[in-house]
Structure 1
Amino acid sequence: MTYNIQKLPREKVFRDPIHNYIHVQHKVILDLINTREFQRLRRVKQLGTSSFTFQGAEHSRFTHCMGVYEITRLICDNFKRNYPSQSPNDGLWDDNERIVALCAALLHDLGHGPYSHAFEHIFNTDHEQWTQTIITSPETEINQVLRQVSPEFPEKVASVIAKTYKNAQVVQMISSQIDADRMDYLLRDAYFTGTKYGMFDLTRILRVMRPYQGGIAFDANGMHAVEDYVLSRFQMYQQVYFHPVSRGMEVVLTKLLRRAKDLYEHNQMNGFEMPSLLVPFFENTVTTEDYLSLDDGILNTYFTLWLGYPDEILKDLSYRFLNRKPFKSAQYTEESEYKLPELANIVEAAGFDKSYYTSTNTSYDLPYDVYNPREHKSRTQIEIMQNDGSLIELSTLSTLVNALTGKNLGDERFYFPKAMLQEHPDDIFSEEYIKFQKHIYNDMII
């Protein structure tokens, strides 16, 4: 379908530490950036609790979405220059798809809630589903801007997020094992955390990307750049995203939100500052407007108010989160897992409610996998295009990628208050501390 898209009189650029300039040429993109729903992403951190471990990681979902847009724009430019469609269904790039791809790239994280994953876990929200809802709800500014392209355009953009859009090339630009989303967050997160694990040759990868009938493939002479990307992603997950201290802060946040929810459900927040913006989440009556009213700052404000709340657990967990007092952790295995209930009981005997002061946290990632037709979840494998046009799946060519293929890598940790490891417990519970430490140091990895 051909859209009548208005170009800006003069290209607008946004300075960016990763891409130098982010180029905006279409009025609809600039209008989307200026909506209240998109501006809200400035107030949601990209890496959530990771900023407690990597102090530079203060970047937002806003900057990431802008970066994903820019990478998608570069892909479209490459495809238009080098692989323009000559006839219907020839498997090459139809540049009429550009505006759908650009809008989906820009808006792909629109539905993230405050502190993302901990919030989703407690309130059972799905950021991808909320992204689609915000895009398709007539009440949002985003929807009104998209409808100016065409009445059905919001649904088309939402279908890219849902991975049901008819053009597989557009879907794979935004969501696949090597896409604009992942490429931007690896480079951006590496930059802001001060690590080098996520660095790879973006310019080379963009150069060797090419469309084909089934989606997007990569030229054989660029295979090593793709291989390096997969390894960079693996390293970032193991060294940054799964960092035990960041997870310790996420456990504190999860328990804090859980305590607030439990107090509300038992009518124990009466007579104190009511967290009115959280009430719809406590009552499971969330509207789109309710969802959009929350960001990291709103939660932090409530946590600050709760420092004066009479409930000791809510007060203590708020203090721990605001002042970076993460839970400690010990790595456990199948062999030591049976110890966890006993350890939790010891923590409770030492004066901590085990429901709020102990937790298990499992973080595993699949660095690379090949398509399995028996799986219900769709997965796109990385295809390397040979000189004769044939496609070969990446792990069959790369020994390094093959070593990671199909392997869930990560760890399982038991979280508990740091006080349980104090060296010289001198209170009446000292026996419990000593017993706890004996089990931890003998059976687990601190």
Structure 2
Amino acid sequence: MQQPQLLHEEKVFKDPVHRYVHVRDKFIWDLINSPEFQRLRRVKQLGTSFFTFHGGEHSRFNHSLGVYELMRRILETFEGRIQLTYEEKLLCLCAALLHDVGHGPFSHSFEKVFKYHHEDWTRAILLGDTQINRILRRLDEEFPKKLAEVINKTYDNKLIVSLISSQLDADRMDYLLRDAYYTGVNYGNFEIERILRVMRPQEDGIVFKFSGMHAVEDYIMSRYQMYWQVYFHPVTRSAEVVLCKIFQRAKWLFANGYAFSQEPVMLLPFLQEKVELADYLALDESVILFYMQLWRKEDDPILKDLCARFLDRNLFKYVEYNPRDFRLLAELKKQFQQAGIDPMYYLEVDTTSDLPYDFYRAGEEEERIPIMLQMPSGELVELSQKSEIVQAISGKRRFDYKLYFPLDKVMALPGELSRKIRERLGVMEDA
């Protein structure tokens, strides 16, 4: 393996979360300056959350640098505790920097409609005809493959995998702190310095000193609060529902021969389901927003309305929904149809769920590597066995169901029909 050269002078990014991001290797600097990584400046970290938290405009680029910096600091704390080769350290740093390079515009909404996963594109970028791949192969021809295995969680060294993908890793620690900072909430804050101090490397993963248990508890609860107060906020989910409906409508129109006033050239590979890597890399959120601006003037009333709603933040309203009340949804779909409101695009049940912490259960799907505490005796004990707080939430998945609809369209219906639908929805007269 070729030894990477150091920069003549250390490069430093000013960062609001970690204060500074330090880059010493020219190799890392070249990766940051690659077109594929720079594209992440044009992909928001929090998708549609800016509709709810106006400060949440930070990018995947922003976050990826933060994960890299945390990984760099973790490796510094491991010095003298475990022997990692130079290649292994670079695998850690590169995995931290590039773990999100495959994210697309409005990641999860776009993925849901066009049926792909960002991790597949991350591997394609690492292994395909990209500048990132050429930079990685300067070290070793096999380095891109090894890095893809780390991100895919199939690499042999479980410690390296756990540093970027576990229940307490560099990725999660950065996005909680960063998302809390930019959204202006306190939920995601936890004692990062303390966690780094009590983190200990083992051959098969990381463990935490028992004396640092409360800092780990704080992290688990911060994650729990961030998911329910920020990531699953009902207004953010409304924006995602509208966004998905825009993509679904555009896809349906294209499949049915609709003549767009201006051909959506950059989206054609996705509409035709013939996407090459170059097509994917050319797509970012500015492209999607450009087409929305065009589509709000289209002849199709549904696409036009949905795009205007998204751009002007005239989102759907919501009510709580009981998934067992299947008759309610069937009745509402029928009433919407009778009222001339297409339920395919204007009535949606959105479900979210989160499992804040879980421990290994052999044979179950999605087995999770537990967080282990290192006792003063050296014995390793699973976190929930010592923490009553974590024990109370371990393995307990929480679900939330919301029914989304355009209240303004319902209110505009003739009096009796509007009243019946609102009564079925449980919406007050003056809502």
Q: Distance in 2 between matches of 1:335 and 1:34?
A: 51
Q: Distance in 2 between matches of 1:177 and 1:103?
A: 20
Aligned with residue 199 of structure 1, among 181, 189, 200: 189
Which segment is superposed worse, 324-333 or 296-305? 324-333
Contact 2:2 2:138 in 1 (8 A): no
1:356-399 deviation per Cα after TM superposition (whole angstroms, max 9, x unaligned) = 11111111011001111112434211000112221111111111
Q: Distance in 2 between matches of 1:83 and 1:238?
A: 37
Question: In structure 2, what is the equivalent of residue 90 of structure 1?
Answer: none
CA RMSD of aligned residues (A): 1.6
SS at match of 2:362: coil
Identity %: 49
TM-score, normalised to structure 1's length? Answer: 0.93
Question: In structure 2, what is the equivalent of residue 433 of structure 1?
Answer: 418
Q: Distance in 2 between matches of 1:10 and 1:387?
A: 42
Q: Does 1:143 align with 2:133?
A: yes
Aligned with residue 100 of structure 1, among 84, 88, 91: 91
Question: In structure 1, what is the equivalent of residue 279 of structure 2?
Answer: 290
Aligned with residue 220 of structure 1, among 210, 214, 239: 210
Contact 1:53 1:245 in 2 (8 A): yes
Aligned with residue 419 of structure 1, among 408, 417, 420: 408
Question: In structure 2, what is the equivalent of residue 239 of structure 1?
Answer: 229
Contact 2:188 2:225 in 1 (8 A): yes
Contact 1:42 1:62 in 2 (8 A): yes
C-alpha change, 1:442 and 1:60, in structure 2 (3 Å) is closer
Which segment is superposed worse, 362-371 or 332-341? 332-341
The 5 Å alignment of 1:39-118 reads: 39-80=38-79, 82-85=80-83, 93-94=84-85, 96-118=87-109
1:19-60 deviation per Cα after TM superposition (whole angstroms, max 9, x unaligned) = 000000111110000000000000000001110110000000
The 5 Å alignment of 1:224-373 reads: 224-269=214-259, 272-373=261-362
Question: In structure 2, what is the equivalent of residue 406 of structure 1?
Answer: 395
Q: Distance in 2 between matches of 1:95 and 1:34?
A: 22
C-alpha change, 1:305 and 1:396, in structure 2 (3 Å) is same
User: Aligned residues, how many?
Assistant: 429
Aligned amino acid, residue 41 of structure 1:
L
Aligned with residue 153 of structure 2, among 160, 163, 175: 163
Contact 1:420 1:436 in 2 (8 A): no
SS at match of 1:392: strand
Question: In structure 2, what is the equivalent of residue 89 of structure 1?
Answer: none
SS at match of 1:28: helix
- Structure 1's unaligned 5+ residue stretches are 86-92
SS at match of 1:113: coil
SS at match of 1:148: helix
Post-superposition offset of 1:324: 0.6
TM-score, normalised to structure 2's length? Answer: 0.97
Which segment is superposed worse, 95-104 or 357-366? 95-104
SS at match of 2:266: coil
C-alpha change, 1:178 and 1:326, in structure 2 (3 Å) is same
Q: Does 1:10 align with 2:1?
A: no
Q: Distance in 1 between matches of 2:141 and 2:87?
A: 17
Aligned amino acid, residue 75 of structure 1:
I
Aligned amino acid, residue 95 of structure 2:
A
Moved over 4 A (4+): 93-96
SS at match of 1:54: coil
Post-superposition offset of 1:129: 1.1
SS at match of 2:257: coil
Contact 1:242 1:410 in 2 (8 A): no
- Structure 2's unaligned 5+ residue stretches are none
Post-superposition offset of 1:418: 2.0
Question: In structure 2, what is the equivalent of residue 88 of structure 1?
Answer: none
